[in-house]
Structure 1
Amino acid sequence: MTTDANFLTGSDGLVAVDKLGNHILFLDPETYEVELTLEGFAPRVHELLVSPDHRFAYVPIYGAGIHGDNPHPGHLVAKFDLRERKHVGDLSTYPHLAPHGLRWGADGQLYCVCENSGVVLEMDPESGTTENVIEVGSNKAHRVEVLPDNSKLYTENEEDTFASVVDLATKRVVKKIPAPNGSAGIGMSPDGETVILVDAQQPQLFVVDTVSDEIRSTITLDGHQKAAQIARYSPDGRYLVVTNFEEPLATVFSGDLKSQTLLHLGQGPMNMAFHEDGETVLIANHNEGSLAVCNLERGEVLRTVQAGVGIETLSFF
């Protein structure tokens, strides 16, 4: 299994970002029952990244709206102590606005997309200092992936018709990967060899080779009528899970992308947490306040548990 900090799992705990409730939830990692709810944040918590040592979690305060309708964007990334289970401070992205996607760099730096400002910030997670401001050529950049060797990062730019490729040595965009319909999501394989772009208008994926940064293939999502959104590989690289917020469905791919299994989920499925058993994934049903507990190997929804108002994402640690 990868040791890349962007593909963490664990058995000590489970933390969730309840976007609709504007809460941070701590759940029992075995029963998935909510044990503690933290509240009192500026609107609104989105996204999540757990530190490589499993000690802290970082959650952007994106603003009161959603992508495309966020008139009062935020400028903070909230920091949580996962042992103490409390909010311990905030990193400021100001003057850069609407922080959203987060990923770790190979040397412990924190990369944060600030959507409205069209940049990715390279930050020191301890001090909160912004070390570099990287222009990505789009004020619609929503999510980011970073290669394990820290050579490049990629942003999906929603309505804009390209994904950005940034050389992290020069901190400059070196390529724009065509995305004629825009892109609604991005994922990366743990080995860093493949980036997945989720088409924003059709139920299909673009498979990008990260050596050439060319599209290697296009895959249709069987059984989907509408475009999907989130794409995440399991930490061991054996599965790719793609969720469809609109339908509501998920597809579980084998790691080689040659087979796919359809899952029927609750309303508004979004992001997910991979259990360390390598077989279980929890998918957040954002629009119904529940989690779908799924078996990856069998391609089966085992049960659904109630949790929160509307969880967007979660992570074991």
Structure 2
Amino acid sequence: MLRSNFVLIFIVLASLVLPATAAEPADIYSTAPARGLLLVANKWEHTLGIVDPEAGRQVAKVTVGVNDHEVTASPDGRYAYVPVYGSSVVGQPGSDGRTVDVVDIKARRVVASIDLGRPVRPHCALFGPDGLLYVTAELANSVDVIDPDTRKVVASIPTDQPESHMLVITRDGRRLYTSNISAGTVTAINLKARKPVSVIPVSKTAQRISISVDDRWVFTADQTKPQLAVIDTESDQFKTWVPLPATAFGT
């Protein structure tokens, strides 16, 4: 059994939308800095919510493409990158998204739409230490790599598994890990070589994924039983299960 103590924190974030009043018009936030704001993907509304957490209110809402499941901010806090998944949910019929919308957070508007070149249902987007944007491409069984300066896809890394849904990246940029929903696996990718080095069986279904602050362990919840899988990032192999009080969704 793993001897380290794991503290698991499950956080649910919901945007608080309050109407503007005569004393507090909505545009008083138009000159607010981009930093310190919370970005919320409003999936069924097809919008990006921009929330001031200190004021406890949504200060802007930007219309994006159909079904924005996830969002990430650029390291400088200037832009939000919103993968446009399409009208479906995972594994179900519907439209297949192929773009990532770029929102200028301060200007509160979409300033670009990055075409991934084919319908892939892009889902999770994260910046790596190298400054590149990594986006899971579910229908392509891959992770697309985007140069944010040119707003072009510069590489596509295979995961060798269907429905690669979420991803995490080590802080040294050495490894990237994806959770692959219907396969119930985690793929470990060598980012320098841009190729998979291990496919790790976990359960029948694997949804979300996270990584410890020291990059030593990767976690994903078993979607069929109340347990959390722990993956050793040194060996890129399954290590142990952590029992949970109930079946978990996120980590």
Task: Name the counterpart of 2:46.
Answer: 22
**What code does the residue aligned with 1:52 have?**
P
Q: 1:62-77 maps to which residues of 2 (within 5 A)?
A: 62-77=85-100
Cα drift, residue 70 of structure 1: 4.2
Task: Name the counterpart of 1:138.
Answer: 161
Task: Name the counterpart of 2:249.
Answer: 229
Q: Distance in 2 between matches of 1:162 and 1:29?
A: 35
The SS at the match of 1:142 is strand
Q: Distance in 2 between matches of 1:11 and 1:170?
A: 34
Task: Name the counterpart of 2:74.
Answer: 51
Q: Distance in 2 between matches of 1:94 and 1:62?
A: 14
Cα drift, residue 151 of structure 1: 1.2
- Give the TM-score normalised by the residue count of structure 2: 0.82
The 3 A distance-change label for structure 1 pair 180 and 230 is: closer
User: Does the CA-based 8 Å contact 1:185-1:199 persist in structure 2?
Assistant: no
Cα drift, residue 11 of structure 1: 5.9
**What code does the residue aligned with 2:90 have?**
H
The SS at the match of 1:63 is coil
Task: Name the counterpart of 1:212.
Answer: 235
**What code does the residue aligned with 2:214 have?**
D
Picking from 119, 144, 149, the partner of 2:142 is: 119
Residue 13 (1) aligns with residue 37 (2): yes
Report Cα offsets for 1:164-221 as digits up to 9, x if no partner: 1111222221111111322111111232111101112112111111111122221121
- Give the TM-score normalised by the residue count of structure 1: 0.65
Cα drift, residue 104 of structure 1: 1.4
User: Does the CA-based 8 Å contact 2:67-2:85 persist in structure 1?
Assistant: yes
Task: Name the counterpart of 2:62.
Answer: 38
**What code does the residue aligned with 1:23 have?**
T
Task: Name the counterpart of 1:197.
Answer: 220
The 4+ residue runs of structure 1 with deviation greater than 4 A are none
Q: Distance in 2 between matches of 1:165 and 1:52?
A: 24
The SS at the match of 1:202 is coil
Matched residues, number: 218
Task: Name the counterpart of 2:5.
Answer: none
User: Does the CA-based 8 Å contact 1:63-1:70 persist in structure 2?
Assistant: no
Q: Distance in 1 between matches of 2:173 and 2:105?
A: 26
Larger Rg: 2
Report Cα offsets for 1:241-299 as digits up to 9, x if no partner: xxxxxxxxxxxxxxxxxxxxxxxxxxxxxxxxxxxxxxxxxxxxxxxxxxxxxxxxxxx
Q: Distance in 2 between matches of 1:24 and 1:180?
A: 33
User: Does the CA-based 8 Å contact 1:78-1:87 persist in structure 2?
Assistant: yes
**What code does the residue aligned with 1:156 have?**
S
Cα drift, residue 124 of structure 1: 0.2
Cα drift, residue 96 of structure 1: 4.8
Picking from 174, 181, 184, the partner of 1:158 is: 181
Identity of aligned residues (%): 28
Higher relative contact order (CA 8 A, sep 6+): 1
The alignment's C-alpha RMSD in Å is 1.6
